[in-house]
Structure 1
Amino acid sequence: MTPQSRTEVAFATLPERLSRAAKQAQKRERVEEDLTRWQLLYRRARYYIPVLQWLPHHSLKSFMWDVVAALTLTSLIAPQSMSYTTNLVHTDPIHGLFGAAVPAMISSRVGNTIAKFIKEEEHTHGRMSNVH
């Protein structure tokens, strides 16, 4: 196919593609019109607040492992951050606890991502989750 014939084919199919895109846009608009105000708010909130996407699918077993991870991190990070704030920054230890809260909140998502990677990743000796 020559470059000129590709251009001709593209222009020939352009009206069909544009009408298909317009139909899809109209369908999306009708769906949004049918939603109630609260449903639309919830849909938009799920986009801007990621926890609303994964929390309904979170299992009790995953929650248990998240609690173990949080306790482990807290037992390591809290004394360390309190020591840093008192000795290096020369402020109250409570400021170190505020600083230690952020990594603990992030650890849950990181742990789930690593667990998913281990379950799905192929290794040279087989699946990583089956390697002893």
Structure 2
Amino acid sequence: METSRRNRRARFAAVAALALGLTALAPVAQADEDGPVEPLSSSQCASGRFCVWSGTNYSGTFWSTASVGLQDTTVAVAGSVWNRMGVDVRMYSGTGGSGTIRCWNNGQQNGSVSVGSASIRTMTATTC
């Protein structure tokens, strides 16, 4: 009976250790549209989306969209940007499409910028 208890305890300890080890390796949850979280990397930016990170090298708060038109972001100043929309995107330093404009061409990616990104407008063509 004592051997059986030791075996159960040993199995439980092994399973618990494995579970704790896997938890430590689990990735950080990825953001959905308009959801800030700590990002994993540029791989968060799915095809067909415009993505903005607050930090350089695709770090910090993450925001992305696949919607068209004018919209405010949750990232006031972008440190990294990737346009995977298929059309050009205008980025504005102010909300509601106000302030300084920066154009991001279809496919353009930059992991080290400092640009106002309070709002964006997706264009209907591939030119800003």
TM-score, structure 2 as length reference: 0.23
Q: Which has the higher contact order (CA 8 A, sep 6+)?
A: 2
Tell which structure's C-alpha radius of gyration is larger: 1
Between Structure 1 and Structure 2, the one with more strand by share is 2
TM-score, structure 1 as length reference: 0.23
